[in-house]
Structure 1
Amino acid sequence: MDPLVSLRKLCLALPETTERLSHGEPTWFVRGKKTFVMYANHHHDERLAFWCAAPPGVQEELVAQEPDRFFRPPYVGHRGWLGVWLDVPVDWTEIQSIVTEAYRVIAPKKLAEGL
C-alpha cells in the first residue's frame, strides 16, 4: 500500500485531526492549529519519510539505535522532532505507536488523555 495512504489513515483516526498542505506536503494538525506529523517528500531526493513530534530524548535514542530507519529532520530536528524513513521496510504497528505519541506530545491534555 502507498505509504502516504497508510500514514493518512493513522493520523486521521486520531481525535480532532485535520489534514492540509503545509510547505507543499500533506500535514496533520490537532484542532486545525498544531502540527504533529508532516509527510516529507518535498526535497524530491527519492527518499520518503515523515517528521513528527516526539517526547524528549526519543529522537536521540532512536537515531542512535537505528540510523537506517530514523533521522534528525531538518528545520524541526533541533526541537526534538523525529524523522522516520518510509522507503525502508516499515512496521505499521510501530508507526501507529510513533504517530500516536506525536499526537500526545502536541494535543491538548484532555484530548491526549482520551486515547
Structure 2
Amino acid sequence: MSAPGDLPPAILDRLRPICLGLPEAHEQDAWVGVRWRIRARTFAHALVIDPSRNPERASSLGATGELVVMTFRAPDDEVGAFAHAGPPYFRADWGHNVVGLALDPTTDWTEVRELLTESYRIQAPKTLAALLADPAG
C-alpha cells in the first residue's frame, strides 16, 4: 500500500507531527501529494517530483531520480534569500511568497519545524498565530 500522494511514509512520519501539532491544522490529500492547512489556507504541501515530468525542477535541484519536496510560505522579505540560496531551496512556480525545500536524508528537521511554524503564522488567523511561542524568545 502506498502512502498518501505516494509520499514516502518516513517523510510523512516526520511532517505530520510538526504540521498537526499547530493549532487547528489539518491534513488533506492534494491534487498531487499532501497538504496541511489552517482553515482554508495551505501552509505546507509535500509531493514527489518525477524528473521525467518536471526535468527543469529536478535538474535545478541536482536530482537524478524522484525527489520529495515541500513547499511553504515565507515572509516576503525572506523569499529572495531562499530563492538565491540554491539547493535544497527553490522558488515555487506559484504564489508570491511560496518557497520549496527538497527533502532528503540530510534534511535538518529542526529547521523544517521552524520553517513550517513560520509558514503557519503567515497563513493562520492572528488569534491562532498568537497561540504559538514568540520565535524571538
Instruction: Give the TM-score taking structure 2 as reference length.
Output: 0.74
Which consecutive segments of 4 or more residues in structure 1 shift more than 2 A? none
The correspondence of residues 1-115 of structure 1 with structure 2, limited to 5 A, is 2-31=10-39, 33-41=40-48, 43-45=49-51, 46-65=66-85, 67-76=86-95, 79-87=96-104, 89-115=106-132
SS at match of 1:85: strand
Q: Structure 2: state its 5+ residue gaps.
A: 1-8, 52-65, 133-137
| Kept after mapping to 2: 8 A contact 1:51/1:73 | yes
Aligned residue pairs: how many? 110
CA distance in 2, matches of 1:21, 1:70: 23
**Highest CA radius of gyration, 1 or 2?**
2
Over the residues paired in the alignment, what is the CA RMSD in angstroms?
A: 1.5
Higher relative contact order (CA 8 A, sep 6+): 1
Give percent identity, aligned residues only.
32
SS at match of 2:76: coil
CA distance in 1, matches of 2:94, 2:82: 18
CA distance in 1, matches of 2:13, 2:109: 12
